[in-house]
């Protein structure tokens, strides 16, 4: 079967075509997340953190914004959420858990 006329799928979080050599990150839970997806979520949270109020609790969807959130599938959102929770737990983001770290969906607040 000739696949040369098949269009390549372009991921919403990566301006380049998805390749077979896409780098994956392994989360502590064992799940794998594409590096570009992980960095898209991390960068979105870092960019929007200064806009948050210190006295409020937020779901990740509220932090990232609905427009950004709608770019991804349910599976991608779950992986992004796991990655952000991992970064918060190791202190890589200016957020902390606002409820039990095992609650789903997680709530965050500024440190």
For residue 34, pLDDT beyond 60: yes
Model-level pTM?
0.79
Banded pLDDT at 103 (limits 50, 70, 90): confident
Instruction: Give the pLDDT of residue 20.
Output: 58
The residue segments making up the domain with residue 65 are 24-110
In a domain, 16, yes or no: no
User: What's the CA angle centered on 77, arms 71 and 82, to 5 degrees?
Assistant: 150
What are the tens digits of pLDDT across the range 45-58?
A: 999 999 999 989 99
**For the chain, how many structural domains are there in total?**
1
In a domain, 63, yes or no: yes
What are the tens digits of pLDDT across the range 14-27?
A: 434 445 568 999 99
Dihedral, CA atoms, 18, 27, 92, 100, nearest 10 degrees? Answer: 130
37, with CB counted inside 10 A (0-12, 13-18, 19+), is: buried
In a domain, 19, yes or no: no
What are the tens digits of pLDDT across the range 65-100?
A: 999 999 999 999 999 999 999 999 999 999 999 987
For residue 9, pLDDT beyond 50: no
In a domain, 13, yes or no: no
């Amino acid at each position: 079967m000739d696949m040369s006329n098949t269009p390549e799928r372009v991921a919403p979080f990566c301006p380049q075509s998805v390749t077979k050599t896409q780098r994956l990150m392994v989360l502590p839970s064992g799940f794998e997340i594409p590096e570009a997806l992980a960095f898209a979520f991390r960068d979105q949270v870092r960019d929007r953190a200064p806009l948050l109020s210190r006295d409020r609790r937020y779901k990740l969807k509220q932090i990232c914004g609905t427009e950004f959130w709608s770019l991804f599938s349910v599976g991608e959102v779950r992986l992004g959420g796991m990655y952000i929770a991992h970064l918060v737990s190791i202190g890589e983001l200016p957020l902390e858990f606002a409820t039990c770290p095992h609650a789903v969906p997680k709530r965050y607040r500024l440190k």
